[in-house]
Amino acid sequence: MDSPSHSSVIIIGAGISGISAGKVLAENGIEDMLILEASDRIGGRIRKENFGGVSVELGAGWVAGVGGKEPNPVWELASQSGLRTCFSDYSNARYNIYDRSGKIFPSGVAADSYKKAVDSAIEKLRSLEANLDSEVTEQPRSPKTPIELAIDFILHDFEMAEVEPISTYVDFGEREFLVADDRGYEHLLYKMAEDFLFTSEGKILDNRLKLNKVVRELQHSRNGVVVKTEDGCVYEANYVILSASIGVLQSDLISFRPPLPHMENAYPGSNILVVTLTNGESKRVEAQSDEETLEEAMGVLRDMFGPNIPNATDIIVPRWWNNRFQRGSYSNYPIISDNQDVHYIKAPVGRIFFTGEHTSERFSGYVHGGYLAGIDTSKSLLEEMRKQKERKSESQTFLLEPLLALTGSLEAVPSLHKCDIPTQLYLSGKVGLQEAIL
């Protein structure tokens, strides 16, 4: 059996965090790296697919945070690569709330329900904050009517999924641009990869990127990390950067030995309807067939707009939760959490360093969060490698000083030859390195 290949660094995952980390390492002279990607493509949760004659984004779809004082690094990448985008103008945005028969709720009723939901959410949050150290027995108020259910979804599951003020808009600006490029959002990753991986005609041919390598086990110690993949391959490295999503880390896909510490779109003119589902409803729909979901959706549409509307010609259902390499679309920290949660999640464990959008303290859930996280993690690793080199140099100096003192004293004793020094003296560690025997 061939001995395992050895690298300075193994990067697990070729999403935007993994690729940006590899780019920074290469720029700092770390060439003997290896990137292991579980799927047959790079990009992670940045993924496009042709549907209904157009290229649609199944994961990340926008460049969020443009036009502010600070430049958004992903927007700069998009501009440099000529990625086609469309400005999302929300200044005159309106939405309607329909009942199951297709009738629009009066705006006054909807506004009143919305205000009640906001007031209820604020009151509940204040109550939770006041009782953080005590047991809370009161159950959250559940929506009782269809309109309350709709408002609850829009307010809690959609609009308030991130606590204000949103760091992205504070730092980078409030404008958003929809990616509308046939090459897909993933084109940015290929342009980044070209800077440090060998490519030809738009394809990555560098043997340091290995696709379809499902990592199942990480054995880590003070001496390095051993990586075992599902196909039986074994790789060794001094360090590992792990860019798996928080969902994957919470699943049993990758085992750690020793175990880790406990942690807790619009397409104009295409006639495509986009439906957003969250939480339990998204998991329910993922678990059923596309045919069942299409039938369910058409039933709702016919209830609303009449029985004579034509069938949809096709349906596409991204299954991020059931994808064992993703286990969810993007991370979202609970409202009642603090910055220590992020620090715990991204803290290195021995020679394993963690990255991904979930490790970004300010931009979790965003593409630029993943991009910047990869850069930050690789810089932290480079600093650790520098310190390790210094520690090794200091250790060798410390070990050789007693040896030099001893050999110097031997010069003053003619009757004793250097070669007569017992080997056990070195092996016992009383003098220094065994290789220093003269």
Q: Could you tell me the CATH number of the domain that includes residue 199?
A: 3.50.50.60
Mean pLDDT (whole number) for 375-395 = 87
Q: Is residue 55 in a domain?
A: yes
Residue 303, pLDDT above cutoff 70: yes
Q: Is residue 318 in a domain?
A: no
Residue 162, pLDDT above cutoff 80: no
Q: What is the pLDDT of residue 424?
A: 34
Residue 348 near residue 220 (C-beta atoms within 8 A) = no
Q: What is the pLDDT of residue 7?
A: 94
- Which of 283, 311, 339 corresponds to the end of one domain? 311
Q: What's the CA gap between 197 and 19, in Å, rounded? A: 10
Say if residue 24 is in the same domain as residue 77: no
- Which of 184, 210, 235 corresponds to the end of one domain? 184
Residue 243 pairs in a beta bridge with none
Query: pLDDT tens digits, residue range 196-235?
Result: 999 888 789 999 999 999 999 999 999 999 999 999 999 9
pLDDT bucket at 18, cuts 50 / 70 / 90: very high
Mean pLDDT (whole number) for 418-433 = 35
Q: What is the pLDDT of residue 213?
A: 97
Q: Domain of 357?
A: 5-47+186-264+323-389
Say if residue 54 is in the same domain as residue 131: yes
410 is written with which tokens?
Answer: 């031997």
DSSP 156: I
Q: What is the pLDDT of residue 437?
A: 30
Say if residue 192 is in the same domain as residue 57: no
Residue 403, pLDDT above cutoff 60: no
Say if residue 83 is in the same domain as residue 174: yes
**What backbone torsions phi and psi does residue 66 show, to the nearest 5 degrees?**
-135, 145
Select the more confidently predicted residue: 222 or 364.
222
* Predicted model pTM: 0.69
Say if residue 164 is in the same domain as residue 108: yes
Say if residue 82 is in the same domain as residue 31: no
Q: How far is CA 181 from CA 91, 344, 397, in A?
A: 24, 37, 58
Select the more confidently predicted residue: 228 or 404.
228
Q: What percent of the chain has pLDDT over 90?
A: 31
Total count of domains within the chain: 4
Q: What percent of the chain has pLDDT over 70?
A: 76
Q: Is residue 235 in a domain?
A: yes
